[in-house]
Structures are given as C-alpha cells and as structure tokens.
Amino acid sequence: MKQFLNVSRRYLSSTRVISQVNLTFFTKDTCMLCTNAKNILHGTLKSPDLANVPIKLTTVDIMDPKNQEWFDKYCYDVPVLHVDRPNQPKPVKFMHYFYEDKLKEEFTK
C-alpha cells in the first residue's frame, strides 16, 4: 500500500492544475497612461502563450460615482491591475506602466 501512495503522490505533484486568474483593471477615460496600459493588457491577453490560461478581466472606471472607494484609493495611481488567484492572500499589483513580458510571467504562475 505504501508503494501505491508514493506513486499517487508523485503523479499528483507532477500534474499542474491551472486555476483561474482574475484581473481587475482600474482606469479612467482621461488618462493616457491608462490607454497605453489597456492596449498592452489586451495585446497580452491575445497572446498564444495564454491560450490555456483561464483569465477573467473586470474593468473598473474609478470616475464612476459607484466606484468612489477605488477613486479614493487610486485617483493618482491609475492605471492599476490587480491579479488575483484562489488561495492567494493579497492581489499582485501592477501600477502605472505595464510590460507584456511581466504580465505574461505573472498570469502563468
């Protein structure tokens, strides 16, 4: 029986389960950095390298009155991208400038 457990453990540890990556993009219309970051983000998401990665993107306009909490937090820091995964205590944050290689690296962890 012990031999069976070792084989199962080895098999399970070599199988990589990819969990969904949840992205929240904080932006506003009048921000040129946000426009650039949006283009980089959307270009990155179209990459063939991410074809098998389940990603959900939510965009939050911090200028919308219903998003006052995010305006108060990020009014001088947009664009901001939160990268969340299940069982991750805090989101990984990208702020101001986005780079495709860094985003891909984070999305495929």
- State the residue range of the domain holding 39: 21-108
Over residues 40-58, mean pLDDT: 95
Token pair, residue 75, equals: 């009014």
In a domain, 12, yes or no: no
Does the structure show a pLDDT above 50 at 4? Answer: no
Number of structural domains the chain divides into: 1
Over residues 56-85, mean pLDDT: 97
Q: Are 54 and 18 in contact (CB under 8 A)?
A: yes
21 burial via Cβ count (<10 Å: 0-12, 13-18, 19+) = buried
> Would you state the pLDDT for residue 1?
43
Over residues 9-15, mean pLDDT: 41
CATH number, domain with residue 27: 3.40.30.10
Q: Are 22 and 84 in contact (CB under 8 A)?
A: yes
